[in-house]
Amino acid sequence: MPMRSSADAGRVAPSMMAARAPMPKSFRIEGLMIPLPLRALFAAALFTLIGGAASATPLAPDELPKADRIVVWKAKRELDLMAKGIVIRAYPIALGGHPKGPKLLKGDGRTPEGIYVIDRRLRQTEYHRALHISYPNPADRVRAKGGDTGGDIFIHGMPRAFGRKDPVRFFTDWTNGCIAVGNIAIEEIWNAVDDGTPIEIHP
């Protein structure tokens, strides 16, 4: 495991962009489904009530180096952007409603564990932006024993109603298996991460 630097003291993230079209009705993300907006907004209300949300000034794309790896620590609820073995930015995350253990089957509410890549991205979703994770990998298929693994697992932002305030931390896990970050955070991750970037998801 790479050594942590003082850079990961910066917990919350930022960047740019605004107008998004609604998600097409035919588009389905396993980690983003009704009634998740209600759960997400409940989480957002908690941040606001206890002072756990803060506005942030977006970093320009040239203010953050390109990440060469993403590392997710499920137990710590943290996503780290890495460059040359150093944490360049760390973000609080929310996971699926059943966060312990690797994802086994579609609809189990678990977030995958393993090594994947970011293989595509969506600018227009109800959860701001989304980066697709290449789940399932061969180990996931073996673990599923022929069952339906699902596959629509993303890193994504919050509902639009949450606006441009990122949580200091999430007080509840509310996705169906995706990895949720704040809306400014997903913009920064979007800018720092190219398609093909590896992502490690640890317990």
What CATH number is attached to the domain comprising 174?
2.40.440
Select which of 128, 132, 178, 202 is catalytic: 178
How does residue 162 score in pLDDT terms, banded at 50, 70 and 90? confident
**Cα 119 to Cα 142: distance, rounded to the nearest angstrom:** 21
Q: Does any domain span residue 5?
A: no
pLDDT at 37: 54
Does the annotation mark 178 as catalytic? Answer: yes
Residue 74 lies in a domain: no
pLDDT tens profile 12-43 = 333 333 333 333 333 344 444 434 555 555 55
pTM of the model: 0.75
d(CA 130, CA 170): 18
The number of distinct structural domains making up the chain is 1
Catalytic residue, candidates 98, 128, 132, 156? 156
**171 part of a folded domain:** yes
Residue 72 resides in a domain: no
Catalytic residue status for 156 = yes
Q: Which domain holds residue 104?
A: 26-56+94-202
Task: Compute φ and ψ for 39, nearest 5 degrees.
Answer: -65, -40
Residue tagged 């983003």 (tokens) = 32
* 155 within domain boundaries: yes
d(CA 54, CA 37): 20
Domain-located, residue 83: no
Residue 40 lies inside a defined structural domain of this protein: yes
Domain contains 67? no
Q: Per-residue confidence at 2, pLDDT binned at 50, 70, 90? A: very low
